[in-house]
Amino acid sequence: MGMNLLEGKTYVVMGVANQRSIAWGIARSLHSAGAKLIFTYATERMEKSVRDLAATLEGQESLVLPCDVTSDEDVASCFKAIKEAVGTIHGVAHCIAFANKEELKGEYLNTNREGFLLAQNISAYSLTAVAKEARTLMTEGGSIVTLTYLGGERAIKNYNVMGVAKASLEASVKYLASDLGKDGIRVNAISAGPIRTLSAKGVSDFNSILREIEERAPLRRATTTEEVGDTAVYLFSHLSRGVTGENIHVDSGYHVL
């Protein structure tokens, strides 16, 4: 990406699981644009792969912290540690979602109350929980970017309970943008086309959707984490200073069909 668009700025990237993660694509683009990065991971299982990946970024001595977004105390202590380490941050990439695999197939009607609330808790409310804590560290203004999918706007087979959570996330983006604009903090979403990540393995028949994109999307190809990463650089940079509450589709144009 280069262009040093983010030179001297610090960002928190939440949700790197492995090198196929969209969050990792975002981290690489931010790093190329000159940003300083801090990583958070959800489970101990992820710690090693996040540390190993972060170490591959030339000239980055990244802080890597645990952050369980289902715990308000954990989110608060995570951002307290970040504040003590760097003082000010310029943005957060929120790349966190989860739903029970059993509810990502068949009829949406099969969703139970517990599964519904779990998906909402991790995939939607977590953005608000993070924004509350991150706000106090963005003393020079900032930008928050989250990830969504077309299934939050349309009923896409198998996406089910995650689609309802993404609809909630996308509405949260607008309300957070409304609240935080006066603090110079922008809030936007990137609606990424299907990418073969660890998370995608939880969605039934993912392959048939990927094939449909490659055959029918205007650009006739699947989305890459690099493309999403570069759009994140735009949303974190001065170039998007007039953009907030927006949802940018990086999906080879599929959503227009």
Ligand X SMILES: CCCCCCc1ccc(Oc2ccc(Oc3cccc(O)n3)cc2)c(O)c1
CA atoms of 54 and 30, how far apart (whole Å): 12
**Which of 99, 118, 138, 189 is the binder for ligand X (CB under 6 A)?**
99
Q: Which residues pair with 191 in a beta bridge?
A: 148, 249
Tell me the window of 9-17, 70-78, 199-207, 246-254 that interacts with ligand X (CB under 6 A): 199-207
- Residue 2 CB-density burial (10 A; 0-12 exposed, 13-18 middle, 19+ buried): exposed
In the list 11, 206, 236, 254, the residue contacting ligand X (rule: CB under 6 A) is 206
Catalytic residue status for 159? yes
Alpha carbon separation from 168 to 86, 129, 131 (Å, rounded): 32, 14, 15
Active site residue 108: no
| Interface residue with ligand X, options 42, 162, 169, 248 (CB under 6 A) | 162
Residues binding ligand X: number (CB under 6 A): 22
200 binds ligand X (CB under 6 A): yes
Closest by Cα among 57, 65, 59, 54 to 18: 54
CB of 151 to ligand X, least distance (A): 6
Cα separation, 105 vs 85, whole angstroms: 43
Nearer to ligand X, 55 or 171 (CB): 171
The CB density around residue 216, as the number of other CB atoms within 10 Å, is 12
Of 10, 126, 146, 158, the one binding ligand X by CB under 6 A: 158
- Residue among 192, 148, 151 at smallest CA distance from 170: 148
Residue 221 marked ligand-binding: no
Which candidate in 149, 175, 234, 254 is catalytic?
149
Query: How is residue 82 written in tokens?
Result: 């970040």
CB 33, min distance to ligand X, A: 25
Please check if 71 is assigned to a binding site: no
The residues of the shown chain that bind ligand X, judged by CB under 6 A, are: 97-101, 104, 149, 151, 156-159, 162, 194, 197, 199-203, 206, 209
Annotated binding-site residues for substrate read 99
